[in-house]
């Protein structure tokens, strides 16, 4: 998660400072490609001197005359999410925010240009997973066997995904929404499972269903999508749930920024479509911690929370990667790296500041581990935040015979020539890439959630409970000094693990187990 899957996923034997720089930057994927990719909608708006704003109303409703109110303040209404009391507007008037704050019913107004979201990093009323009819009831289909590159997928073996898919490879009536940078829907390992009807671009805060709009121009979304649902088709790799449908919900642009209006739009799309599970490998940026008691961030924090809550209330399981800064999210103290789109300043933070969406109530937060089943050196953690751990890779501490480079292999857009340092090609010519990060861990859990849904479990709460109840317990490491070379990026504190075998800050309730999740 964060800054793409964090790390930019290529660490090798770099020195500590080099590793740290790589983790905090977008990395090769975006930096090398920026000059080759089209300007994003958000960048175009900014170039015109316009600012995007989130207007938060005190109640989950919006006045009927909101368009006139916005216009009177010198703005244009972009989107009206009345269900959650959120409006997205644009204006070139420097006094727009202060004018809107004086409007009746407005709780907070925040500009979003500097509040991007970078890739990596029990729901009330959720009594249905999917508003499917009886005719659309999930029917799981076995997907036994392996594909050409399956021998390189140590991560799948670690969570017993091959054994699980031999029994249940997922149902094509179950849709997983991958909220990311889009999907390369032409990739031959993804094309059989792409759900065009439920895919969308939310760049700019307005849904656009044209396939070209949600095509992945970054790579990150294609990688996470492959872990979830790469087809069992005799070529390349196999995802955790190779028979389910995957919807590309593009909220991240070519540069890896996830602006708040795009995130809100994405979850509103999930709430109003047949999305069973969402994967989220990002969190709010450029502030490492988004603080609800900060007047500059309050509207963004609350708008995203309301949209996520509505998606969960409508039956979606929300899985989120926890980030790659080696931070204890349960005990935040300092943020010394934000804003990371300009000049960082040190500021004190408390538990009033949260990582979104991982720290929103009801979200399944996922930390990362490597092939030795130890928490990955970079992964965030925290009591009350970590629900599960899953393979995300660790190229420093956890290179083994089964995982010689320690990284996770998945699908990659063939047209992105730059950005992936370790590519693999199938005999068909399809492209795959090795990466690491909590961004790689979250999709494993989302895939298992899709398998559970394919077994006919329709309650989002029940799916989350089964994920947790069937996980393999992992104790804290006997020696945490192995992480001493990489302390918390935020405050320089040593990494420490709290808890016991059954629950701890590093591993949560344990490592997700695909086979147990569908058989117990």
- Decide if 301 is inside a domain: yes
Residue 317 sits in the same domain as residue 394: yes
Residue 456 sits in the same domain as residue 393: yes
Length of the chain: 520
- Decide if 344 is inside a domain: no
- Decide if 275 is inside a domain: yes
Residue 265 sits in the same domain as residue 409: yes
Residue 107 sits in the same domain as residue 151: no
Q: Cβ-count burial of 236 within 10 angstroms (0-12 exposed, 13-18 middle, 19+ buried)?
A: buried
What pLDDT is recorded for position 112? 85
Task: Report whether 409 contacts 432 (CB < 8 A).
Answer: yes
| 29: confidence class by pLDDT, cuts 50, 70, 90 | very low
Q: Which of 113, 135, 156 is the last residue of a domain?
A: 113
Q: Measure the CA–CA gap between 175 and 296, rounded to whole angstroms.
A: 36
Residue 54 sits in the same domain as residue 139: no
- Decide if 471 is inside a domain: yes
pLDDT single digits (tens) 4-18: 343 444 343 343 444
What pLDDT is recorded for position 311? 97
Query: What residues pair up with 55 in beta bridges, in sequence order?
Result: 87, 109
- Decide if 4 is inside a domain: no
Residue 98 sits in the same domain as residue 195: no
Residue 440 sits in the same domain as residue 511: yes
pTM over 0.85, yes/no: yes
Residue 263 sits in the same domain as residue 380: yes
Q: Cβ-count burial of 480 within 10 angstroms (0-12 exposed, 13-18 middle, 19+ buried)?
A: middle
Residue 105 sits in the same domain as residue 137: no
Q: Measure the CA–CA gap between 228 and 243, rounded to whole angstroms.
A: 10
Per-residue pLDDT at 25 exceeds 70: no
| 284: confidence class by pLDDT, cuts 50, 70, 90 | low
Domain that holds residue 427: 119-338+353-519
What pLDDT is recorded for position 506? 98
Q: Which of 113, 140, 173 is the last residue of a domain?
A: 113
pLDDT single digits (tens) 429-438: 999 999 999 9
- Decide if 3 is inside a domain: no
- Decide if 347 is inside a domain: no
| 20: confidence class by pLDDT, cuts 50, 70, 90 | very low
For 45, other C-beta atoms within 10 Å of its C-beta total 19
Q: Which of 86, 113, 140 is the last residue of a domain?
A: 113
Please state the φ and ψ torsions of residue 208, each to the nearest 5 degrees. -135, 115
> Averaged over 375-399, what is the pLDDT?
98
Task: Report whether 317 contacts 447 (CB < 8 A).
Answer: no
Q: Roughly how many angstroms between the first and final C-alpha of the chain, as a whole number? A: 30
CATH code for the domain in which residue 293 is found: 3.40.50.200
Q: 116 or 356, which is more confident? A: 356
Total count of domains within the chain: 2
CATH code for the domain in which residue 106 is found: 3.30.70.80
Per-residue pLDDT at 200 exceeds 70: yes
Residue 124 sits in the same domain as residue 83: no
What pLDDT is recorded for position 293? 84
Residue 255 sits in the same domain as residue 394: yes
pLDDT single digits (tens) 98-126: 999 999 999 999 988 766 666 664 222 22
- Decide if 429 is inside a domain: yes
Residue 147 sits in the same domain as residue 74: no
Mean pLDDT of the chain: 87
Q: Cβ-count burial of 350 within 10 angstroms (0-12 exposed, 13-18 middle, 19+ buried)?
A: exposed
Q: Where are the alpha helices (DSSP H) in 284-411?
A: 298-313
């Amino acid at each position: 998660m964060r800054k793409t899957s964090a790390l930019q996923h290529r660490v090798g034997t770099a020195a500590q400072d080099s590793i740290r720089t790589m983790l905090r930057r977008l990395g090769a994927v975006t930096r090398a490609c920026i000059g080759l990719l089209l300007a994003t909608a958000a960048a175009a708006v900014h170039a015109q001197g316009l600012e995007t704003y989130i207007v938060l109303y005190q109640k989950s409703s919006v006045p009927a005359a909101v368009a006139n109110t916005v216009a009177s303040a010198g703005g244009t209404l972009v989107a009206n999410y009345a269900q959650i009391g959120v409006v997205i507007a644009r204006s070139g008037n420097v006094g727009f925010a202060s004018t809107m704050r004086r409007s009746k019913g407005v709780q907070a107004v925040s500009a979003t240009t500097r509040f991007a979201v970078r890739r990596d990093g029990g729901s009330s009323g959720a009594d249905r997973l999917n508003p499917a009819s009886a005719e659309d009831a999930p029917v799981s289909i076995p997907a036994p066997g392996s594909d050409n590159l399956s021998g390189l997928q140590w991560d799948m073996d670690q969570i017993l995904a091959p054994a699980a898919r031999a029994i249940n490879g997922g149902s094509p009536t179950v849709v997983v929404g991958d909220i990311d940078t889009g999907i390369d829907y032409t990739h031959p390992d993804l094309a059989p499972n792409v759900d065009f009807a439920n895919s969308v671009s939310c760049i700019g805060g307005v849904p656009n269903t044209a396939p070209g709009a949600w095509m992945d121009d970054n790579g990150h979304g294609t990688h996470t999508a492959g872990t979830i649902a790469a087809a069992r088709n005799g070529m390349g790799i196999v995802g955790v749930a190779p028979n389910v449908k995957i919807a590309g919900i593009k909220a991240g642009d070519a540069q890896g920024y996830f602006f708040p209006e795009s995130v809100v739009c994405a979850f509103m799309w999930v709430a109003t479509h047949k999305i069973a599970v969402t994967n989220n490998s990002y969190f709010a940026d450029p502030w490492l911690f988004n603080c609800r008691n900060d007047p500059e961030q309050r509207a963004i924090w609350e708008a995203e929370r309301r949209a996520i809550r509505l998606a969960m209330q409508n039956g979606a399981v929300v899985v989120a990667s926890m980030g790659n800064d080696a931070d204890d999210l349960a005990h935040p103290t300092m943020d010394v790296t934000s804003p990371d789109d300009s000049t960082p300043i040190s500021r004190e933070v408390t538990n009033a500041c949260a990582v979104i969406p991982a720290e929103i109530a009801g979200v399944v937060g996922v930390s990362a581990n490597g092939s030795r089943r130890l928490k990955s050196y970079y992964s965030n953690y925290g009591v009350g935040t970590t629900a599960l751990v899953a393979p995300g890779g660790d190229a420093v501490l956890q290179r083994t015979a089964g995982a010689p480079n320690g990284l996770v292999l998945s699908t990659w857009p063939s047209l992105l020539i730059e950005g992936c340092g370790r590519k693999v090609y199938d005999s068909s010519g399809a492209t795959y890439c090795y990466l690491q990060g909590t961004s790689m861990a979250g999709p494993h859990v989302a895939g298992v959630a899709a398998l559970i849904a394919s077994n006919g479990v329709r309650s989002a709460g029940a799916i989350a409970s089964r994920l947790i109840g069937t996980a393999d317990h992992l104790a804290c490491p006997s020696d945490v000094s192995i992480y001493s070379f990489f302390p918390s990026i935020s405050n320089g504190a040593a990494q420490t693990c709290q808890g016991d075998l059954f629950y701890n800050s590093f591993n949560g309730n344990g490592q997700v187990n695909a086979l147990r999740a569908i058989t117990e």
